[in-house]
Every structure is written in structure tokens, then in C-alpha cells.
Amino acid sequence: MLTKFQAKLFFLVGTFLFSAVFLLLTYDSLKYVYSSPSSKTLSEEVIRGKELWEKNNCMGCHTILGEGAYYAPELTKVYERRGPEWIRVFLKDPQAMYPGERKMVKYDFSESQISDIIAFLKWNGELDLKGFPPKPELKSSTQLVDSASAAIVPPEKFKQICTACHSVGGAGGNVGPALDSVGKKYDLAYLQNWLRDPQKIKPGTAMPKLPLSDSEIKDLSSYLSQLK
Amino acid sequence: MKYKSQKIAYWFFATCMLLLSLQIVYGFVMGFARMGFDVLHDWVPFNAARATHTNLLVVWLLTGFMGAAHYIIPDESDREIYSVKLAYIQLISLIIVGVVSIIGFHLNFWEGRKFLEIPRPLDYLVVVNVLLFLFNIGMTVWKAKRYTTTSLVLYFGLFSAALLYLPGMIQFNSQTVDSYFRWWVVHLWVEGVWELIMGGILSFLLIKLTGVDREVIEKWLYVIVGLTFLSGILGTGHHYYYIGVPEYWKWVGGFFSMLEPLAFLAMAMFAISMYRKSGRNHPNTIALFWTIGSAVMSFVGAGFLGFAHTLPQVNLYTHGTLITAMHGHLAFWGAYAMIVFAILTYAMPLLTGRKLWNNPTGLFAFWASNIGMLGMTGAFAVAGIAQVYLERKLGLDFLTVQKEIQVHFLGLILAAIVFTSGIIAFIINFARFGVPTDEALGAEQASGDISLARRS
């Protein structure tokens, strides 16, 4: 059997050897990171965004690159998922976007701070993460309405904000109900009133009052009313 | 106890118990928030509770390790602690750093990197504090009448823990590099140098409790810590799969992570076989429970449950979900919390001279806290598996999934109540010992420890 001296040798040689390999791989990994395209897009804005991210301990609820707490959504691909416009509206008043749901602290970020955070999230979303986060392979892809055949194309705002929670033709979020046949249920006037202040029509609804201008409301409701 | 200065250990242990109680309170705050009762949101938002919960864990375990060192090192070195005054200064400064950090977390003052939330200015204080500790313990070992493997391994572990705190203090602009070096601290602590500390404490306890020859135990200690480093250093790679570093980390990390359970398995087998070899029955059975329990539970929690999601193909789906919380809870409990409880249970009768061993409260503490922790792990596991399938496989929205799994947190809270009742029993027992007295000097005689130490 092993003597104490041999056991000690095993410990010392093992530790030294594997530390050396680890340092070598670290050198190679840093070389890889600093020569990858992401290091060229690492702007001042992104760095300021990262500082804000850390200063407010966003990782205490969210995860990014899969790291952090698991209380709030994974944000690596949030830029791709929600788009800058939605994130901007959300960060101005997080609780208004999800009334009565799990709460996020309302930080009083300035416009430029929000831009920095968005830049940080965009930068992280563009990293080569070797397939993370995985695409949900069992997701159903039923087509309810052929959105291409609609007479009016979806307004820009719809794509930026509404699709975060609602889906049309199987594409979009699943927080709110699918909007494929919303035009059958509600007329134009109702939809306009609804978009102006959902809480007034149905107190306690999860639908937030969105910062929309009158013309945007008109465009959105005429688009929605033709989804039959 | 053999030396007067070992009494300092008591104050570290008492601080330990206090911080642990606070950690549990914050755990409940988070458990209720997850069930939808986030009533404290305005005062203690989730991120504040989370930072406090995890940092208290780190601080109370470190305090426990320091207490253990203050008990073990004089015993192993056959001399008093180098400076008692320094030990008290160090303990008090540690408490100050802890209190300021915790208050800071509630005022949005932190560094915001998971597990390393302590604000940067306080990091420097931590460094000074740890240097004080290492100097004091180091001088004790240096001037020792004898050098034992146990004390050297323990000291090397504490020293490396301090050294590896530094990479976490460097600022990086890239999230990838930031993450890379954050794991140098977190992983290499938890799966490297802390295991060294645990191994040191474990072998000290086995020598004392089983009476097996020191040479035999210390030889296996080398093999086990050797295995730990062999697998643990490159095993850091399992945190590097998806952060934007080269692909080969999947192979390196995956392979060495598969070896990581071996070190824990060896630790469990070692503890059990030493217990079987033991030629005598130590009267402090509960200390033996905690010691063997720690070796076994660390294999289950850190080894087995860790392995359950470190393969890259599995980790792709479980990374960043409640599965991590499942593994984390049992791993920390088994490997580190239980070993601190073991040294505490062993040392308290000897520090105070009160032979309060093997009472029903102590036995209840052991079983209730272990059953409670297993229940909590189960609740996290069920919630985590459901989350992975609904969110990562079916593509449901994060918040929709969270509503689906809310009910499992009722299970978590119930198990946490069982766990907490065990911890309360442990603390009641701890309080019943009272403070250490000089009259307890040479108390080992009563339990026969002295004769054992001589025999080796």
C-alpha cells in the first residue's frame, strides 16, 4: 500500500501539475476572448451598462450567461427577445408592465443610463455562448392565422412591445392571450379604450397601461380589429 | 482543552451561531417571496435578501473555520496561540465588516457579483482581517513544538483561501472575463481550498474520536486532498461552458467534473472505515454523528448532486435554473455546515468542562436539521426539474413557469421549518454549555483524549 510519503507526493505533484495546466488554459482562453469579435464591440456604453448592472446587483434576481439568482428571467437574450423599445418602456416603470405580478425594484434610471443598460444587454446577447440558452425544441408551432394575409401590416409598436406578451400566428410571447381572433371579440372602439387604460375597463388585469400616443393607439387598434 | 487560548474558539463559534440564525431568517424571506408573499419587497427586495443569505453563509462558515483553527492549531502544535489579543481584534473586525456589509446590502451598496457582493472598499478590510488571522495562526504553527500533517493541511487551506480571494477583486470590462475570474474565487474556494480545510478538521476529529493511528489517518488525508485538487482545479471548467470561452472547456470541465465526486466518495469511505477501525467508543457520540454525517452528506450533496448536472449536455438546460439551488443547498450543508457543527459539538464539552453529550436535544438537532435539509433539497429538485421542462424544453414564459412551480415552495417552507427546529435545538444546546472556563483545562483526561493523542 501507499506510504505516507507517496501520498504526500501524489498531493503535491497533482496539485502543481493541474494548477500549471489550468494557468496555461487560462492564458489561452484570455487570448481567445480578447481576439474574438465581441472584444471589438465592447464600447464605453457597454462598460457603463455593466457598472450599473453591478451597482444595483441585478444578478441578485436575474441571471446573465446563466449566472445569478433564479428569481427573475434570464437576460442573455433579452435584447433579441424583447427589443430595445420594450426594455426602455419596462425599465422606466417595471411594475406597471406586470401589474400584480412578481415585482422588480423601481430604479430611477435616467434615459442615458437605460441606453447603457440596453447596450450591455445587447453586447452579452451577441456573445458566442456555445448554444446557450437552448432553443425550446418541443415548442408548438401551430399557425392559427396567416399573418401575411392580413390587410394591414402590424405597426412598428406592435412588434416592439405587444409581441413580448401576446402572439399572432404562433409568434410572440405567451404571457397574455394569443391575439389571433381578437377582432372577432372586440370592435375598434373597444380596443381603443382598452389600449388607453386597461385597468379602467378591467381592474386587476395583467395588461399594463402602456405609454402610447393617440396615433399609435389608432394604428394598433385598427390592426387588431382586422385579426379575425 | 489543553491550552487556555483555545477558549477564543468559543467566541468564534458563538458568532457563527448568530450569523447562521440570521441567514435562516433571510432564507424564509426569499421562500415566501417565491410563494408570492413578497410583502417585504420595499424594505428587503429579493436581491438584498439573496445577497445577505449567501454572504452570511460564507461569513459564518469562515468564522466557524477560524474558530476550528483556534481550537485545533494549539492542540496540534502543542502550544498556546501566538497572540490572544490579535485573535480578539480579528474577530471584532470581522463582525464589523459583516455588519456594515449587511446594512449596505439594504441600502443598494454592493459589488453586485454573485457571492462576492461585499462592496469593494470593505474588501480591503477583509484582506487585512484575514492577514491578521493567518499571521496569528501561522506564527503558532511556526513556533510549534511539533508539526502535524493535519495542522499543515488546515493552514495551507486557510492560506490558499485568502490568496484566492484576490482574483475576485480585479475589475474586468467584459462579462466573460469577469465571470471567468469570479469562479477562481467561488469554485476554487468551494471545491478546492475549503475542502482542504474540511479535510483538516475531519482528520483531526477522526483522530480524536476514533483513536485510529495518526499516521494512517494523515496518509489518507493526503490522498483525499490530492484527489480534490486533481479533479477540482480543472473541474472549474464546468462553469465555463456557456460564458464565451473556447469550446474545449466543455471537454475539460466535463471530464474533471466527473472525477469530482471521487474525492467526496473517498472522504465518505475514509470516515466510515476509520470509524469501523476505532478501537474505542468516544463518549461524545453526537460529535461522531456530525463527523461521519458530514463526510456522507457531502458526497450526496456536493459529489452526487453536483455530478447530476455538470455534464455539458445536461447543464445546457439546467444552467441558471433552480437545479443549481438544489445542489447548492445540500452541498454546502453536507460539506461545510456539518463539519463546523461537528467541531463545535466536539469542542464545546472540552471548552466548558460540561459533559452535555448525547442528550435528546442534541440528537433531535442532528436528525431534524438533516431531514429538513433533505426535504428542502427535494423541493428545489422538483421545482427545478419542472422549470427546466416547462421553460427550457416547452418554451413557456419565465413568469408563467414560476407560477406553475409556486406550490413546490410550500414544500420548501415546510421542510425549512423542520430544518430550523433542528438548528434551534442545536443553538439551545450550545447556549446550555455556557462560556468556557479555565477549570476545563485538561478536560480531555475525562474523555481519554490526552492518552489517545500521546499514543499517536
Q: How far is A40 from chain B (nearest CA, A)?
A: 11
pLDDT at B174 over 80: yes
A66·B320 Cβ contact <8 A? yes
Verify that A56 and A88 share a domain, yes or no.
yes
Range of the domain at A99: 39-125
Q: Which residue has the higher pLDDT, B19 or A143?
A: B19
Verify that A88 and A58 share a domain, yes or no.
yes
* Domain boundary residue, one of A71, A90, A125: A125
The verdict on residue A11 lying in a domain is no
B47·A28 Cβ contact <8 A? no
Indicate whether this complex's ipTM tops 0.90. yes
Query: What local confidence, expressed as pLDDT, does residue A96 receive?
Result: 82
The verdict on residue A107 lying in a domain is yes
**Consecutive H or E run containing B247:** none
The verdict on residue A21 lying in a domain is no
pLDDT band at A180 (very low <50, low <70, confident <90, very high): confident
A50·B175 Cβ contact <8 A? yes
Query: What local confidence, expressed as pLDDT, does residue B455 receive?
Result: 36
Query: What local confidence, expressed as pLDDT, does residue B435 receive?
Result: 93
Q: How far is B242 from chain A (nearest CA, A)?
A: 5
Instruction: Suggest the residue from A51, A53, A70, A139 to mutate for an interface test with chain B (most B CBs closer than 10 A).
Output: A70
What percent of chain A is predicted at pLDDT more than 90? Answer: 48
Kindly report the average pLDDT of chain B as a whole number. Answer: 92
Q: How far is B182 from chain A (nearest CA, A)?
A: 11
- Region label for A68, one of left (φ > 0), alpha (ψ between -120 and 50) or beta (otherwise): left
Model pLDDT for residues A83-138, shown as the tens digit of each residue? 898 999 899 988 888 877 888 999 999 999 999 999 999 999 999 999 999 988 87
Query: What local confidence, expressed as pLDDT, does residue B451 receive?
Result: 37
Q: Which residue has the higher pLDDT, B411 or A199?
A: B411
Verify that A45 and A116 share a domain, yes or no.
yes
Instruction: Suggest the residue from B38, B40, B116, B175 to mutate for an interface test with chain A (most A CBs closer than 10 A).
Output: B175
B111·A69 Cβ contact <8 A? no
Query: What local confidence, expressed as pLDDT, does residue B371 receive?
Result: 98
Query: What local confidence, expressed as pLDDT, does residue B197 receive?
Result: 93
The verdict on residue A25 lying in a domain is no
B226·A14 Cβ contact <8 A? yes
* Domain boundary residue, one of A93, A125, A157: A125
B317 contacts in chain A (CB < 8 Å): 134
Model pLDDT for residues B75-93, shown as the tens digit of each residue? 999 999 999 999 999 999 9
pLDDT at B443 over 80: no
The verdict on residue A136 lying in a domain is no
Verify that A166 and A110 share a domain, yes or no.
no
B117·A60 Cβ contact <8 A? yes
**Nearest chain A alpha carbon to B395:** A136
Verify that A79 and A118 share a domain, yes or no.
yes
Distance between CA atoms of residues A123 and B284, nearest Å = 58
Query: What local confidence, expressed as pLDDT, does residue B448 receive?
Result: 43
B226·A25 Cβ contact <8 A? no
B233·A22 Cβ contact <8 A? yes
A7·B111 Cβ contact <8 A? no
B396 contacts in chain A (CB < 8 Å): 174
The beta-carbon neighbor of B320 closest among A38, A47, A74 is: A74
Query: What local confidence, expressed as pLDDT, does residue A150 receive?
Result: 58
A23 contacts in chain B (CB < 8 Å): none
Whether the CB-CB separation of B405 and B380 falls below 8 Å is answered with no
β-strand partners of A57 = none
**Most confident residue range from A6-10, A210-214, B346-350, B415-419:** B415-419
pLDDT band at A149 (very low <50, low <70, confident <90, very high): low
The verdict on residue A213 lying in a domain is yes
pLDDT band at B452 (very low <50, low <70, confident <90, very high): very low
Instruction: Suggest the residue from B34, B47, B114, B252 to mutate for an interface test with chain A (most A CBs closer than 10 A).
Output: B47
* Domain boundary residue, one of A92, A125, A158: A125
Q: Which residue has the higher pLDDT, B328 or A151?
A: B328
Verify that A49 and A84 share a domain, yes or no.
yes
**Nearest chain A alpha carbon to B402:** A71
pLDDT at A186 over 90: no
Average pLDDT for B25-32: 97
B226·A70 Cβ contact <8 A? no
pLDDT band at B1 (very low <50, low <70, confident <90, very high): confident
Strands A63-64 and A167-168: unpaired
What percent of chain B is predicted at pLDDT more than 70? Answer: 97
pTM, 2 dp: 0.90
Verify that A164 and A92 share a domain, yes or no.
no
Say how many CB pairs under 8 Å bridge A and B: 208
| Total tally of structural domains belonging to chain A | 2
Verify that A91 and A157 share a domain, yes or no.
no
pLDDT at B275 over 60: yes
Q: How far is B177 from chain A (nearest CA, A)?
A: 8
B320·A55 Cβ contact <8 A? no
Whether the CB-CB separation of B368 and B416 falls below 8 Å is answered with no
The verdict on residue A14 lying in a domain is no
pLDDT band at B456 (very low <50, low <70, confident <90, very high): very low
- Region label for A107, one of left (φ > 0), alpha (ψ between -120 and 50) or beta (otherwise): beta
SS3 labels along chain A = CCCHHHHHHHHHHHHHHHHHHHHHHHHHHHHHHHHCHHHHCCCHHHHHHHHHHHHCCHHHCCEECCEECCCCCECCCHHHHHHHHHHHHHHHCHHHHCCCCCCCCCCCCCHHHHHHHHHHHHHHHCCCCCCCCCCCCCCCCCCCCCHHHCCCCCCHHHHHCHHHCCEECCEECCCCCCCCCHHHHCCHHHHHHHHHCHHHHCCCCCCCCCCCCHHHHHHHHHHHHCCC
Verify that A116 and A166 share a domain, yes or no.
no
Question: What CATH number should be reported for the domain holding residue A206?
Answer: 1.10.760.10
Query: What local confidence, expressed as pLDDT, does residue A146 receive?
Result: 53
Verify that A95 and A152 share a domain, yes or no.
no
The verdict on residue A44 lying in a domain is yes
Query: What local confidence, expressed as pLDDT, does residue B445 receive?
Result: 53
CB atoms within 10 A of CB B435: 10
**Nearest chain A alpha carbon to B232:** A18
Query: What local confidence, expressed as pLDDT, does residue A140 receive?
Result: 60
Query: What local confidence, expressed as pLDDT, does residue B450 receive?
Result: 37
A87-110 CB burial, b ≥16 within 10 A, e <16: bbbbbbebbebbeebbbbbebebe
Average pLDDT for A50-73: 95
Verify that A50 and A98 share a domain, yes or no.
yes
SS3 labels along B303-333 = HHHHHCCCCHHHHHHHCCCHHHHHHHHHHHH
The beta-carbon neighbor of A11 closest among B41, B46, B225 is: B225
Model pLDDT for residues B411-438, shown as the tens digit of each residue? 999 999 999 999 999 999 999 999 998 8
A128·B244 Cβ contact <8 A? yes
Whether the CB-CB separation of B16 and B337 falls below 8 Å is answered with no
